[in-house]
Every structure is written in C-alpha cells, then in structure tokens.
Amino acid sequence: MLQACLNGSRSRDFHPALPCTPAELARDAKAAIEAGAEELHVHPRGRNGEQSLESADIAAALQAIRMSVPDVPVGISTLWTIPPVGRARQAPIREWQVLPDYVSVNLGEEDAPEIMALMIQRRIGIEAGLATVADALRLVALPSAERCLRVLVEIEEQEAAAGLHVAHEILAVLSHANLGLPVQLHGSDLTQWPMHDEAVRRGLDRRIGLEDGADLPDGTRAADNAELLRTAVVLSARAGG
C-alpha cells in the first residue's frame, strides 16, 4: 500500500505547493490518487492556517477530500503539539461529528493509550506510530495493540545507516510480538527515499509526500505531492515491488 502524506505540520515556507485549505487538500488528494496513492494522511488546518483538531475544521477537510476522491481511506494526525496541545486536545477529538477512517497515534506521546482507547470507542482505525524501540515495546505491551489498523515505523534519523538500524530494531520487536498487523515504513527528509526503498525491499507499506520531504531521489525539488508519488510508483515497479 502506498499512502500519500499531503502536508503534515509543514508550512508553505517549506514548499509553495503544500496544500492547507480543504479545497487544496481535495485537489491534491485527487492528484495523489491519480499518481498511484491508495490512501491519504492529512493534517487539517483552521482558518488561521494552523493545524487543528476542532470538529468544524476536521469536517471541512474530510468532506472536501471525500467529495474529490470517494471511497479512498483518509486518516489524520492526533499529534501532541496540535492545539490545544497535550491532553487538552482530547476534548475537541471527542466532539468530532465527521470521522476519519483512521488516525495516527504516536506511542512516544504521554497519552497515547488514552487516545487509542478513545479511537476504539469511536470505531476509528489506529495507525500506531513508532519512532524508537521504546515506542515499539510500549505498543506490544498494550492489550489494545492487536486492535490497531497498522503499525507505522517512523524513522526520524537523518543518516540512512542509522535510520535503517533503528528500523530493523523496531521491526524485530514487532516480529517477536507477532501482532499480525500490516507495517508501514517511512522516513523524513534525508531518509524519505532510503526508507521507501527498504519498505519496497521488505514488502512493507510505504508513505510518501510533502509531510515527509520535498526532494526527489536525485536531490532536486519535486513540483508537488503528485510528482513525489509518481516517483515512488516508478521506483517500486523497477524493484519489482
């Protein structure tokens, strides 16, 4: 599975084609699916352009995307730093009227088990984000781990060899636990493409988009999300993935 991560916490200072408004997300979602993505991950914004978990902002983004690409799974972030920040963000999450298909929950965050329990209660899928071995050990110790939709191995290291080392250690923890969940591997910036290639090699799910980086494998700047995704499709095909 190839997932498109359209914007993340980035701003247009990072890339002028970064989608922020519901209309822009809908446009990029359509282009991403046409380029070969199968699922979407987005960070909705409020009217001030900042990341938001408010019910109206979540609804506006999801409804626009679903009008543009019906029947495509759409996930959003529950990142600790999204206003109102920390545990306080659970309040707007409880008020959501239009629900995403899934959310990403970072196991390195203090209230991750609480967010997971809330998602299970609301029948929203969970992508369990693991950036460290400690995150992986925390996940596999949770009774709710097997109820996740998938595991995200999210490499933050910026040197490829170091990133691969961390990825392999996390994957070893998951293999030992035998959760039976799909695993997605992705990097960021300098490790976006090395982790993509490793995911192809291992037969894992992949993620590409401006949230994770704006450069193509040769170091040139991509025009937009669609170009990044088309490149991922070509690389996977060449590798027989």
CATH number for the domain that contains residue 56: 3.20.20.70
Residue 151 DSSP SS3 = strand
Looking at the domain assignment, is residue 163 inside a domain? yes
> How many domains in the chain?
1
Print the domain residue range for 95. Answer: 2-236
Looking at the domain assignment, is residue 135 inside a domain? yes
- In this structure, the number of other CB atoms found within 10 A of the CB of residue 239 comes to 11
The 8 Å CB, 24+ separation contacts for 45-49 are: 45/7, 45/20, 45/21, 49/11, 49/20
Band of residue 240 on the pLDDT scale cut at 50, 70, 90: confident
Residue 211: name the closest of 60, 1, 20 by CA.
20
Looking at the domain assignment, is residue 136 inside a domain? yes
pLDDT in the model for residue 112: 97
Share of the chain above pLDDT 70, in %: 100
Looking at the domain assignment, is residue 241 inside a domain? no
What is the residue-averaged pLDDT of the chain?
97
Model confidence pLDDT, tens digit, residues 160-192: 999 999 999 999 999 999 999 999 999 999 999
pLDDT in the model for residue 241: 63
Looking at the domain assignment, is residue 16 inside a domain? yes
pTM across the whole model: 0.94
Model confidence pLDDT, tens digit, residues 5-46: 999 999 999 999 999 999 999 999 999 999 999 999 999 999
Give the Å distances, CA to CA, from 161 to 158, 170, 190, 226.
Answer: 9, 14, 11, 28
Residue 198: name the closest of 180, 228, 171, 230 by CA.
171
